[in-house]
Amino acid sequence: MSIPRAVFDSVMVPNYAPSAIIPVRGAGARWFDQAGRDYIDFAGGIAVNTLGHAHPALVAALTEQAGKLWHVSNVLTNEPALKLAQKLVANTFAERVFFCNSGAEANEAAFKLARRMGNLKDPNKNRIVACINGFHGRTLFTVSVGGQPKYAQTFEPLPGNITHVPFNDIAALEAAMGPDVCAFVVEPIQGESGVMPSEKAFLLRARELTTQHDALLIFDEVQTGNGRTGHLYAYQHFGVVPDVLSTAKGLGGGFPIGAMLTTEALAQTLQPGTHGSTYGGNPLGCAVAGAVLDELLKPELQANVHARHLQLVAGLEALQAEFGLWQSVRGLGLLMGAVLVPGQSAGPLVNAALEAGVSLLQAGPEVLRFAPPLTITEAEMAEGLVRLRQALEALREGG
């Protein structure tokens, strides 16, 4: 028997407002609701379902590990965690890995590392510089670092000594830096705030300034990582290497896992007892994430991201020419945003698309966000664009 949406209102904390449609299964870039209707997935669980739904390699990895070992405390280590860490070190700048369960936890670890590093050098070196309209998670520390007051309002007092500068503003960043700064944190693409890519010059200057002031450069790649931009991590696209990188979302392809990547020297800042996570490095999550990485590193998947990026851009530009609802398309790989013309709101378009059988996202009130599985096929992409066109046509006819 299907559970109705009304049950949510009787048993769940009302911090979410989910649709009346309830997914029950998925396959590839398609999911199905309780009535058996199918939807093309242009949302990917907010850039989480890297390889789509029920990918055979992930099902096999989870099933195999489920018959072996589910959990041990971090008093012990385990083979899936060690294998995953080896893969991350082999394919990134990193020399050390800390595992956790989410992007917020990965950022929390990064910020604690920065604060501890600064304090060990100078008790006054503890200021974090971040970007206005950044998003780094929902813990009290991460919403404080994120430059969006709406997520922090009514949770005051907030953790202090955080400075926010306009995104991509080199002069403002130069003015904000100083000897008391322990870190500058930035998203290579601001996902939640409108799919806004960093300018390479901004990231290059950030690298210079953090080095100059003996501060850490932290890249929040929770949304941009794990093949999403056409590279394993977006820093590889920009050619700017951070000191610390946070990753989650697509790392587990739908299984909760996060990680903080850093260098050997910086890792020594977190000695035993300074930080931890009960489920961090869980064998189940690490086994699945290891299978995800194996797939992401295949040249054919990277080629598909590039091809589907071009297909999505062309499709969105064609819809732009026909309906005139957005003024530009921006982003990298399969993290794309359609910037709406003034006066248009993303919410009604997202709802209309769902009614037409395609799920997508919004990034702020005026940007449609697209983050489909990286495995989406040419046919699935084409079908999703057809359904999106039907949604726009229905909106136009309905006035």
**Quick check: 329 and 336 in contact, CB under 8 A?**
yes
Beta-ladder partners of 340? 326
pLDDT at 399: 59
pLDDT at 105: 97
pLDDT in tens, 286-311: 999 999 999 999 999 999 999 999 99
pLDDT in tens, 214-261: 999 999 999 999 999 999 999 999 999 999 999 999 999 999 999 999
pLDDT at 146: 87
List 99, 111, 141, 220, catalytic entry: 220
Which residues belong to CATH 3.90.1150.10 in the chain? 6-54+300-397
List 33, 125, 249, 370, catalytic entry: 249
Architecture of domain 6-54+300-397: Alpha-Beta Complex (3.90)
Which residues belong to CATH 3.40.640.10 in the chain? 57-296
DSSP SS3 for 217:
strand
Alpha helix (H) residue ranges in the chain = 6-11, 44-47, 56-66, 79-91, 103-121, 140-145, 170-176, 200-212, 234-238, 264-267, 283-296, 299-323, 346-355, 378-397
Beta-ladder partners of 384? none
- For 179-208, b/e burial (b = at least 16 CB within 10 A) is eebbbbbbbbbbbbbbbbbbeeebbebbbe
List 98, 135, 238, 370, catalytic entry: 135
Q: Is the peptide bond before 149 cis (omega within 30 degrees of 0)?
A: no
**Residue 294 known to be catalytic:** no
Taking the C-alpha atoms of residue 87 and residue 124, their distance in angstroms, rounded to an integer, is: 37
Taking the C-alpha atoms of residue 79 and residue 91, their distance in angstroms, rounded to an integer, is: 19
Tokens linked to 213: 């002031």
Kindly give, in sequence order, each residue whose CB lies less than 8 Å from that of residue 367, ignoring residues fewer than 6 positions away: 194, 195, 337, 338, 339, 340, 346
Question: Could you say which DSSP state residue 138 is in?
Answer: S
**Residue 155 known to be catalytic:** no
**Residue 249 known to be catalytic:** yes
User: Which residues in the chain come in under a pLDDT of 70?
Assistant: 399
**Which CATH fold would you assign to the domain 57-296?**
Aspartate Aminotransferase; domain 2 (3.40.640)
